[in-house]
Structures are given as C-alpha cells and as structure tokens.
Amino acid sequence: MKSLSPEQIAWSRNMQTQILQAVDKGCQKEIAEAIGVDSSTVSRLKEHHLATVCNLMAAIGLKVVPANMKCYNEQKIDILFRLAKDNFQRLEQVDDFFHDDAAMQIAEGTYQPRSKL
C-alpha cells in the first residue's frame, strides 16, 4: 500500500491549518447552522475527519484556497512576466513608464520628463 509522499503530508497539514483557522474565525454555531448540523458535529468533523479529508485531497492533487482566490495557468503567467520584464528593461527613466510614446520621443529628441510638462 502506497502512502502519501512527504510533500503531500505537508500539503495536507497546511490544508488542515487553513481550515481550522477559517473555522476559528467564523462562529462554529453559525457554520453548523449553514450546513444543517449541530455545532458538536462540526467539532467532531474537525477532530476526527479533517485529517482524513485533507489527506484525501492531497492524494488526488487538490488544495484548499480562499473563495476569493483566483487560479491562473502558470505558463501564461510566465509569458506575461517575461513580456513585462522585457518592456521594463527598455525604459530609461521612471517617467518613461507613463509616456506611451516615450521611446519615439527619445529617438526624435523631443522627450520631456513629466515633471517638465
């Protein structure tokens, strides 16, 4: 029988911590009412089943994230980062960032920093 890898165990523990912190932030009674159980059931879920559920999630490659978290494709973010980095390397001064046509103005010799406008 294969067991969780050290990385998956760490992942599971992290999820357990996140869930426990979220439950502690909320009122256990309100959480219980929201899911239609007694608050003692919420306590039992935390104490007896949370680790198993988090181990399951780690084993199948899922994770807990806040509801307002957005997920993005790592390759797309890497491409955007490289494009942004390339464009920032072309800037000569902070003011260049604020001028859409700063490069053209610099080439023409008509560039004036924002502070002089």
pLDDT of residue 117: 46
pLDDT over 60 (residue 99): no
pLDDT of residue 2: 81
* Average pLDDT value for the chain: 86
Q: What is the mean pLDDT of residues 23-41?
A: 91
One-letter amino acid for residue 39 of the chain:
S
pLDDT of residue 109: 80
How far is the C-alpha of 15 from the C-alpha of 62, rounded, in Å? 10
pTM of the shown model: 0.60
Sign of the alpha-carbon torsion through 16, 19, 23, 26 = positive
Structure tokens at 37: 């159980």
pLDDT over 80 (residue 105): no
Report the Cα 36 to chain-centroid distance in Å.
Answer: 30
pLDDT of residue 44: 93
Residues 98, 101, 106: CA angle, nearest 5 degrees? 100
Contacts of 92 (CB under 8 A, 6+ apart): 106
Structure tokens at 29: 């009674």
- Helix 50-59 / helix 6-25 crossing angle, nearest 10 deg: 130
pLDDT of residue 45: 93
How far is the C-alpha of 30 from the C-alpha of 36, rounded, in Å? 10
pLDDT of residue 114: 62
Tens of pLDDT, residue by residue over 34-77, are 999 999 999 999 999 999 999 999 999 998 988 898 888 999 99
